[in-house]
Structure formats: C-alpha cells, structure tokens
Amino acid sequence: MRSELDPALTVHRPSIPVQEALKHAAGLREELKGAYRGKRYLLKTYGCQMNEHDSEMIAGLLEEMGYAATTDETAADLILFNTCAVRENAENKVFGEIGRVKPLKQLNPQLLLGVCGCMPQETAVQERVRSTYPWVDVVFGTHNIHRMPELIEQASHSFETVMEVWEQSVETLDELPKARTDQTRAWVNIQYGCNKYCTYCIVPYTRGKERSRTMESIVSEVVDLAARGFKEVTLLGQNVNDYGLDLGTHFSTLLRAVGGVAGIERVRFTTSNPWNFTDDLIEAIAETKTVCHHIHLPVQSGSNAILKRMNRGYTREYYLELVRKIRERIPGVALTTDLIVGFPGETEQDFQETLTLVSDVQFDNAYTFSYSARTGTPAAGFKDAVSEDEKKQRLARLMSVQDGYTLAASQRAVGATARVLVEGVSRTNGHVLATRTDTNKLVLVEGPPQWIGQSIYVRILSANTWTLRGERVDRESVAMTGS
C-alpha cells in the first residue's frame, strides 16, 4: 500500500533549493540503478521534437534502472505514453491508446502503465485519468522527468495511481542520461518554455516560462557528440531565437559556437519564430558553414487582424520583409512554415490574405492545420467560431495551393548535384537509403547500409511533391550545381 503519496492528484511545486532537489533525485537514481534488470519497457512518443528529446532522457533513465527496450506490448513490463497537448486530436488519440491497452493490464496485473509529457500538465487531463482510467499506474509531467525512477518504484508497490505533476521546473535537466536511437543525428536542447502566450497555444502552460541552458553546457554536449561520431545536431527550443535572453547572450552567438565544433558537419535548429529574428542571426546562419540553409519560420496566418487576435506580435508586412532579408543574404535557403485555418473570427477575406501570403513567399513546405480549441487558452473563449465544414474547405484549398509550391521546389532540384547525409534505410524499401540535403529535402538513393552516417554526393534524377530520387556520384566528376 502507498503511504508517501496521497492517491489523489498531487500538483507539487519544489519547496527546497534547486541543487538540493537535484541531489536528492540523483541519490534515489543511484539507489535504483539496475534494480529492474530483466524487465522491459515500451515507450510511445507523440508530438514535437522536444518530446522526442524528452523520450531520450526517459529511456536513458529507464535503462539506467535496468529496463531494456521492447517493441512488443505483450512482452513489456512498463508501457509509457509521452504525450502531446498541442491539439485535441492528439489528446484523443492518447486516451484511445490508454483504453486499448487496458486488456493487457487485465492479463498481466504486474504491468505498469504510465502517462507523462505535456498532457498531464493540464488539470482536466489529470482529473480525467483519475476518474476514467484507474488502470493507469503512474503519471508525471514535463517538469519532473528526473523524479520518474522514484515514481515508478512507488507505483510498483501501490494499488492507486501515483500522480505527481510539477507546476514549474527546478532547472534545465539535460544532464540526465539519454538513450539515443540515432547514431548520426542528435537532438540538443538549448531552451525550454515560452513567454509569448499566443492566444491559441497551450505550450506556455505545459512547458513553463523560457529557460536557457548555459552556452558552456550546450557546447560541451556537442563536443561529446562529435567525439562519439555524430555528424549532425539539431538545437531545440520552443523559441530558439529567444535563447540566452535570460543569460545575457544571444542565439546567434551560440550558433557560431556550435558551428565551430570540429567533427560536426551540420547544425540545424527548430523552432525559430518571426519575433527577435535579428539581422545578426541571419548573418550567423549565412556565414557559419555548418549551419544548414533551412529555416522553419511559422507565420500561422497572412491576415493582420487574425495575427493580432492570435497575439503573434508581428504583422504580415514585417514577416514578408523578414523573408526578403533572409533570402537576400542566404541565396537558395529553404523556408518552411506553420499555418492555421479557421481561427475564431477568420473571414473569407482573412483566409484570402493567407493564400496571397503563401503565393508571395512560395514556401518549400508548410505544416497546415485546422484550428483546434485548447481548454485554458484565451482563444478557447472566443465566441465567433468558424464552422467545421468551413475549416475543412479552407484547409483543402490551402493545401492545394501550398502543395503546388512544394512540388515546384522539389522539381527545381532535378538535375542538380547535392551533398547529402545518409540517415538510414528507407522505411518502405530495405534496398534504398534515406538521405537529406542541407535544405532538408529527402532524397532516396540505392546503396548499402554501410553508407549510413556518411556524407555523399548525389545527382537528383526525379522528384515528387515531398521526395527526391537520386544516384551517388563522385564529387570530382561533376560540377556542383545545387544543395
């Protein structure tokens, strides 16, 4: 029976100094090292790259405890869902999965089921798990991943759901062990949280305020990754171009420092946003040879009225001028974006302004979404909702326009020669390798798995909307005509 943690919801705010809290957690981790040897875990991850990175830390902690990974649900002793709260559909999918695995728990009462990540940061989710999914054994959030070993230990001896969700983080926690599944590319967290409070977005409530890692710790991690043979790093944050504002430094300074680490061939970053995208940041991307010429720059809408309602903090004109400056300084740069249709109050005229912005910019690709109200955000209370039918129609129209520009961008690469990093074997054809250009274009190439992790040169032979096909060529045999 559980004695230390009340079966009711526990929302815990750290009450002891940061270093003491971390020291306490580290001590418990040490006690539990290897304690679960012989047991297996299955970790399912939903959502953004930040969640993927968190899952690497979760897996690292589990393997430190002695767990081994499995993909077989029936063989797992622990099934953990690392969740996303950005859209309602994502949450519903997770709840569906929790319901689906209930029979596994009935067949094996010793199986532990857990829910972590962004969803538990919402009070409504905490209460729903308690009332509707009592077979869930352990719940924790984004701010207390380091507490997971103790929570699992408690859950293994408890008849009630062990639920501990912190309202804020004690510190950036990237010193935790990581189980990286890719030996060529690595996520590197540089910044957590968001201070922007866009009216539609749940992230500031699930991830907390902006917090930057020190530049020294980031560069040290990248140096270690290079020594271990990694070729590409992606710098992660909710707003990477806000990096360092709390430390008296700037993202452009970090980008130059990471770009100078020997052995790292490529540096990517996500997500950057239009605000605080300085001229010096553009210059850093342009002049640092290892920084990839691909910028994801979410615009969300082409209407000033909707941008204001979203609290995005910039105008259509500002965004277009930023795009102009980026393309002028970085020729051939690939620009991608996020777009939302059907935001409350969006008229046909507002939507037309989004379409014209897409035509003006001609993005290489765009992630397009219908607006989904998130409980607890200001926009959820806006009254002038767009009908679901209208959202679907606008989304289809937007995708049709953008897909044309995406296809055109792909077709422009045909005949060019590009340097690509071989990422792995194609998911659909074991004789084909998945490679990627500096500008984030996926190129499929026939070749042996021994090429994985290498940078090679390919000639682009054909293109469809999202995928290129190519063949390997010797660098010396052709004039470089593209990347």
pLDDT, tens digit (0-9, with 9 covering 90-100), for 90-149: 899 999 999 999 999 989 999 999 999 999 998 889 999 999 999 999 999 988 898 899
What confidence score (pLDDT) does residue 12 get?
Answer: 46
- 270-274, 344-348, 474-478: range with lowest mean pLDDT: 474-478
Residue 173's pLDDT is 66
What is the distance between the alpha carbons of residues 56 and 53, in angstroms, rounded to a whole number?
A: 5
Confidence of residue 71 (pLDDT cuts 50, 70, 90): very high
CA distance 393 to 388: 9
Return the pLDDT at 24. 62
What pLDDT band is residue 8 in, cutting at 50, 70 and 90? very low
Residue with tokens 């077989």: 72
Phi, psi of 5 (to 5 degrees): -125, 120
- For the record, the structure tokens of 454 come out as 């290498």
Determine whether the annotation assigns residue 118 to a binding site: yes
> How much is the average pLDDT of 288-304?
98
Residue 477 has pLDDT above 70, yes or no: no
Provide, rounded to the nearest whole percent, the portion of the chain with pLDDT above 70.
92
Query: What pLDDT score does 72 carry?
Result: 95
- Tell whether residue 292 is among the known ligand binding residues: no
User: Minimal CA–CA distance to 413: which of 444, 454, 455, 459?
Assistant: 459
**Per-residue confidence (pLDDT) for residue 476, from 0 to 100:** 64
Q: Which residue has the higher pLDDT, 10 or 269?
A: 269
Output the pLDDT for position 446.
96
Mean pLDDT (whole number) for 376-391? 95
* 116 in a labelled binding site: no
Q: What is the rounded average pLDDT for all residues in the chain? A: 91
pLDDT tens digit sequence for 360-377 = 999 999 999 999 999 889
Q: What is the pLDDT of residues 9-37, one digit of tens each?
A: 344 444 445 556 556 666 677 888 888 99
Confidence of residue 178 (pLDDT cuts 50, 70, 90): confident
At residue 483 the predicted structure's pLDDT band, cuts being 50, 70 and 90, is very low
Q: How far apart, in whole angstroms, are the C-alpha atoms of residue 49 and residue 373?
A: 22
pTM for this model (two decimals): 0.85
Q: What is the mean pLDDT of residues 299-317?
A: 98
* Mean of pLDDT values over 229-237: 96
Q: Quick one: pLDDT at residue 124? A: 87
- Looking only at the bridges linking them, the beta strands covering 112-117 and 78-83 are parallel
| pLDDT for the residue numbered 31 | 82
Query: What are 184-199's pLDDT values in tens digits?
Result: 999 999 998 899 999 9
Q: Which domains does the chain have, with CATH numbers?
A: 10-166 (3.40.50.12160), 186-411 (3.80.30.20), 417-477 (2.40.50.140)
Quick check: bond before 206 cis, omega within 30?
Answer: no
Any residues with CB less than 8 A from the CB of 347 and at least 6 apart, and which?
A: none
As given in the structure block, the two tokens for residue 193 are 């949280």
What is the pLDDT averaged over residues 408-436? Answer: 94
